[in-house]
Structure 1
Amino acid sequence: MKFTFKYILISALLLSFFACSKESNNAVPIPEKNLKTLTIFHINDQHGQLNNFAKIKDIVAKEKKETNVLLVCSGDIFSGNPVVDNHPEKGFPMIDLMNKTGIDISVIGNHEFDYGEAILKDRFNQSQFEWVCANVEMNNSGIPEPHEFKTISINNLSVTFLGLVETNGKDDDIIPSTHPWRVKNLTFEKYQNIISNYAQLKETENSDLYIALTHLGESTDSNISNKYPYFDLIIGGHSHTKVNNTINNIPIYHAGSNLNYLGKIELEIENKKIKKSNYTLINLTTYQEYNSTIKDLIDTYNIDANLNEVIGFSEAYHNRSNVGSFYTDALRNEMNVDITFQNTGGIRSNLNEGYILKSEIYSIDPFNNGSVTYTMTVAEIKNFLKGSKASLYYSGVIIEQDNNSIIIKNKNNEILNDNETLTIGLNDYIPAVYDNYFTKNPIFLPYTTAETLINYLENTTAPINYTTINSYFKYE
């Protein structure tokens, strides 16, 4: 009986095995998982800084041996390094390094327009990477029209990028934060008015990934993820922040500024969705390895710029507020006017203690703004300060706010009459932005404001020390 039971059990198991085998031969095969890998490196707001491109080239080249790689930029490649901004071909060293490092695609940043339309046309034509921006029209400027969006295929992957730039440059106009006179022939649109046109772009392009490549700032990118959740992820810039955040299930990444960091996004993509992601922000200051060919090119650009001439001496370290006081005072003396103004956003660097190099002045004032003078009454100046609510450094007078009134005094602490006339010196960006308050024709001087500062330092032997002076005003 025991033998019989064992025999029956073995027979049943064998029958079951063959029955299952037969059934599996007739079943529909389970497809293999459609798993794809991609690493996206990203930079933003490099503002002319070149030195770390040699390190980026090394990092990207090594990663390309392991997986699919894209290298992308979120804009503001110009304005901030005199080696780039004062090159005979303004901006070309940046384009050259981006080409040779292997940038695949970049959105247009607001400071791409700082050199004017003719120069941007040349830089675009020299670019070997793609430009995207959906909310600009180049019209008859001659600047090549950027793609509204661009789909890049890499091996078995298809990635679509939509480009967007900020348009907060002027209260009564829709332009980026750049010199208004340098975008006269271009047309911009607020991103809110056009972004929904691209809601189905991932489907129409049949892409594995849909990415917003933006130059809008951290808060706006957060708003997009909530109100326009079309994207798999957002890679942004403009606010100079380090961002690794997820809002409404959409990751948002920014990599600081000035090429100090390189963002690394490692993705596993399955059936057109991100299955797994990992983010690393690489500190390029501490990273030691580099591509020697790129480093040699950078060294050549830095040496050829010849910006290490000593033009003055600073008795102490000056923060940006201190620099603003020095800046306006030097401008007033050199331009021989009663009062000078400088927008706080136009002071882009601190001033170190010790010898002042020509390169430092160009870093403080990188925008190549022209120098202009106006003649205005005290009442007109008050109207400008009150109506614009601009944050300004100034020199030549004392400006105070008393409740809702503005009081302007001379150096002897005497209140100036509203009908009194003063000569004003400033960069031409300010009257271009606040043209409602600067309605008269200016006198154009032959130097940029940076060159005016250099002239001042070259013609004075007195050391610089503005650490105890606070000449800031903003109407509240």
Structure 2
Amino acid sequence: MLRLLLVVSVFLIGLSPQPQLRADHAGERDPLRLVIVHVSDLDRIEARGGRGGLAKLASVVGTLRLEHEHVLVTHGGDAVSPSVMSNFDQGAHMIDLLNRLDLDLFVLGNHEFDFGPEVTLERVAEADFPVLGSNLRRSDGTKLPGVEDEIILEIAGWHIGVMGLLTPQTLTSSSPGDIAFTSEVDAAAERAASLRAEGADFVVALVHSGYDVDTALVRQGAVDLVLGAHDHLQHLLWPTNGTAFVEAGAQANHVAIIEILLQEGEDSDNDWSAQFRFLDTLEITPDPDMQQAVQGYLADFEEELGRPLAITEVALDTRGSSLRSEENAFGNLIADAFRVATEADVAIQNAGGIRGHRHYAKGSILTKGDVIAELPFQNPMVLLEVDGETLWQIVEHGLAAVEQRSGRFPQVSGLSIVYDPQKLPGERLLELHVQDQPLESDALYRLAVNGFNAKGGDGYEMLTELPRLSHPADGLSDTAVLMRHLEQAERIAPRIEGRIRVP
């Protein structure tokens, strides 16, 4: 591990000024050759299709550490979730394996909050590496315990400043509780100025956000290097004499390797250059020690994952292209399970919460692992009381971004929807029936949803104002409800029934 020189927490009131680290080093320091190994969105421990996973990454890191004196290993976030295994131990196994990797730096991703902020803090406390989150605070303005705003690493007399930025969309894409976010771009400018004032020669931003934010940071130029995440794509952008940006994709299928040369320039300015490459891990031999640890976890989970629940008598498709734009048989299955378990009149499952992206052939045995892959977030089941007028607004919201294949698209039970996708958002719903009866605007209905949507996730803010009701599935997660539903059925045959229609 690189030596952590200083933790900067400038937002905390009452801190005395930190000593300046910069000195007149002109002619005194040798050039620094620093290798950064960057991955992100790595929540799966094993290789698939011969690529990715912790053992292959450990092999890459081990080789580079033997070949180079100064190596920095960074993770761009989304490790704790949403893997299948995370549903058994809420991501604790991943923190253990990253500790074994001797990870240097980590920024919180949106999926670090999938099990709520309390679990996030448990995982942070278990980490042997610095965890960054420079643009987030609790609603009272305090820091998250164990999460650093920024750090400065001392390497061979040079000072490398690092910040970590997380997308504010975490508020609707995960379950961060009372966490508040500031703009990534605004935070980058403030943190970069702070780091340089504290003596940083080179400033890096670990950023778990969208490509639009990444490019805005490049244009801003406040930091020297942006290490990206969140998009699951490989990107490289380096305008002449400007901020560089690189993102390595997901699951360590490819690893970004950045070789930086930092040297003294004229007039006390520092000059730097870099070489960027993406390493395909297909031909990488797994590190034997890490592979043994990975196999140990796989063996622990294998029996539970493989437990059979039910046989499907029809083919099922859980790919997002179907779920996010039209009625889907598997979506019907989930929504029916919710409605039955809670004794609701209607149930809605946001399509974005169904994550397996699989095709199940007729006659397939659905296992516990399959259910966890499809509903990985273990959201609690919530029963709400809703009037007909508000229920119309809820469904209208679910249909408002269908052309974008938005995760808010509703898979439903107890509802019959007719809508026109050619109309403007907010005007698309044409007919709505509850239990085959026309919707009554002043009637009260029992609506079952998952806890993510109940807290306003995917923009369902209107749900946060609705009264909560007790129900038979209180204390159960959506994952557990579907497992129970399948076990009781033994054989299933969900079909497209015309619940969501276009005239």
In terms of mean alpha carbon deviation, does 385-394 or 365-374 score higher? 385-394
Aligned pairs (5 A) from 1:193-232: 193-201=186-194, 203-226=196-219, 228-232=220-224
The alpha-carbon distance between structure 1 residues 296 and 471, as it changes in their structure 2 partners (threshold 3 A), is farther
> Following the alignment from structure 2 to structure 1, what is the Cα–Cα distance between the partners of residues 500 and 204?
41
Q: In the alignment, what sits opposite 2:488?
A: 459
1:42 Cα shift? 1.1
The alpha-carbon distance between structure 1 residues 373 and 145, as it changes in their structure 2 partners (threshold 3 A), is same
> Following the alignment from structure 2 to structure 1, what is the Cα–Cα distance between the partners of residues 368 and 134?
39
Deviation digits for residues 82-116 of structure 1 (CA, Å, limit 9, x no counterpart): 322312xx221011011101110111112212222
- 1:357 matched to 2:367? The reply is yes
The alpha-carbon distance between structure 1 residues 392 and 411, as it changes in their structure 2 partners (threshold 3 A), is closer
Deviation digits for residues 145-203 of structure 1 (CA, Å, limit 9, x no counterpart): 4221112233454321111111124xxxxx46322xx523x443233443322343453
1:31 Cα shift? 6.7
Q: Whose radius of gyration is greater, 1 or 2? A: 1
Q: In the alignment, what sits opposite 1:303?
A: 299
Unaligned runs of 5+ in 2: 1-25, 48-52, 265-269, 401-407
Q: In the alignment, what sits opposite 2:235?
A: 243
The alpha-carbon distance between structure 1 residues 159 and 176, as it changes in their structure 2 partners (threshold 3 A), is farther
8 Å contact kept, 1:245–1:251: yes
The alpha-carbon distance between structure 1 residues 352 and 296, as it changes in their structure 2 partners (threshold 3 A), is farther
Partner of residue 183 from structure 1, selected from 164, 177, 180: 177
Q: In the alignment, what sits opposite 1:290?
A: 286
Aligned pairs (5 A) from 1:12-411: 34-51=30-47, 52-67=53-68, 68-87=70-89, 90-138=90-138, 143-169=144-170, 175=171, 177-179=173-175, 182-184=176-178, 186-201=179-194, 203-226=196-219, 228-247=220-239, 249-271=242-264, 272-280=270-278, 282-284=279-281, 286-305=282-301, 306-314=304-312, 315-318=314-317, 319-320=319-320, 321=323, 322=328, 323-353=330-360, 354-386=364-396, 389=400, 390-401=408-419, 403=423, 404=427, 406-410=429-433
What is the letter of the counterpart of residue 289 of structure 1? T
> Following the alignment from structure 1 to structure 2, what is the Cα–Cα distance between the partners of residues 241 and 167?
20
The alpha-carbon distance between structure 1 residues 159 and 471, as it changes in their structure 2 partners (threshold 3 A), is farther
Unaligned runs of 5+ in 1: 1-29, 170-174
The alpha-carbon distance between structure 1 residues 432 and 250, as it changes in their structure 2 partners (threshold 3 A), is same
Q: Secondary structure at the match of 1:447?
A: coil
What is the letter of the counterpart of residue 259 of structure 2? E
8 Å contact kept, 1:110–1:166: yes
8 Å contact kept, 1:343–1:430: yes
1:336 Cα shift? 3.4
1:317 Cα shift? 4.8
8 Å contact kept, 1:71–1:103: yes
> Following the alignment from structure 1 to structure 2, what is the Cα–Cα distance between the partners of residues 85 and 140?
31
> Following the alignment from structure 2 to structure 1, what is the Cα–Cα distance between the partners of residues 347 and 296?
38
Number of matched residues?
A: 431
1:215 Cα shift? 1.1
Q: Secondary structure at the match of 1:200?
A: helix
> Following the alignment from structure 1 to structure 2, what is the Cα–Cα distance between the partners of residues 95 and 162?
20
The alpha-carbon distance between structure 1 residues 347 and 69, as it changes in their structure 2 partners (threshold 3 A), is same
Deviation digits for residues 391-447 of structure 1 (CA, Å, limit 9, x no counterpart): 322222221235526244448865333234432111011121134344212335231
What is the letter of the counterpart of residue 353 of structure 2? G
> Following the alignment from structure 1 to structure 2, what is the Cα–Cα distance between the partners of residues 256 and 464?
37
| TM-score calculated relative to the size of structure 2 | 0.78
8 Å contact kept, 1:120–1:143: no
The alpha-carbon distance between structure 1 residues 275 and 260, as it changes in their structure 2 partners (threshold 3 A), is closer
1:465 Cα shift? 5.0
What is the letter of the counterpart of residue 233 of structure 2? T
> Following the alignment from structure 1 to structure 2, what is the Cα–Cα distance between the partners of residues 408 and 422?
17
Deviation digits for residues 373-402 of structure 1 (CA, Å, limit 9, x no counterpart): 123232220122335744322222221235
Q: Secondary structure at the match of 2:222?
A: coil
Q: Secondary structure at the match of 1:273?
A: strand
The alpha-carbon distance between structure 1 residues 37 and 330, as it changes in their structure 2 partners (threshold 3 A), is same
8 Å contact kept, 2:416–2:498: no
> Following the alignment from structure 1 to structure 2, what is the Cα–Cα distance between the partners of residues 235 and 183?
26
1:143 Cα shift? 4.7
The alpha-carbon distance between structure 1 residues 46 and 387, as it changes in their structure 2 partners (threshold 3 A), is same
> Following the alignment from structure 1 to structure 2, what is the Cα–Cα distance between the partners of residues 470 and 265?
53
> Following the alignment from structure 2 to structure 1, what is the Cα–Cα distance between the partners of residues 374 and 82?
8
8 Å contact kept, 2:385–2:468: no
